[in-house]
Amino acid sequence: MAKCEVCGKGVTFGHNVSHSNRKTNRAWKPNIRRVKAVVGNGEHKTVYVCSRCLRSGKVTRA
């Protein structure tokens, strides 16, 4: 679910690395917001958008 509907940004996987250099799995999740936005032909719809798309103006809020 953690995926932006505008740019497609999703979860990125990697490792937590401790001081002793042990590695455990972890995930970085994007900052997804549920927003009412104007979509396509002017209709208002609830979309899931990352904060970067909101800030850059790729989405117009309803």
4 or 42, which is more confident?
4
Task: In whole angstroms, give the CA distance from residue 18 to residue 34.
Answer: 34
The answer to whether the pTM exceeds 0.75 is yes
Task: In whole angstroms, give the CA distance from residue 49 to residue 2.
Answer: 9
Structural domain boundaries in the chain: 12-56
Over the stretch 13-54, which tens digit does the pLDDT of each residue have? Answer: 999 999 999 999 999 999 999 999 998 888 999 999 999 999
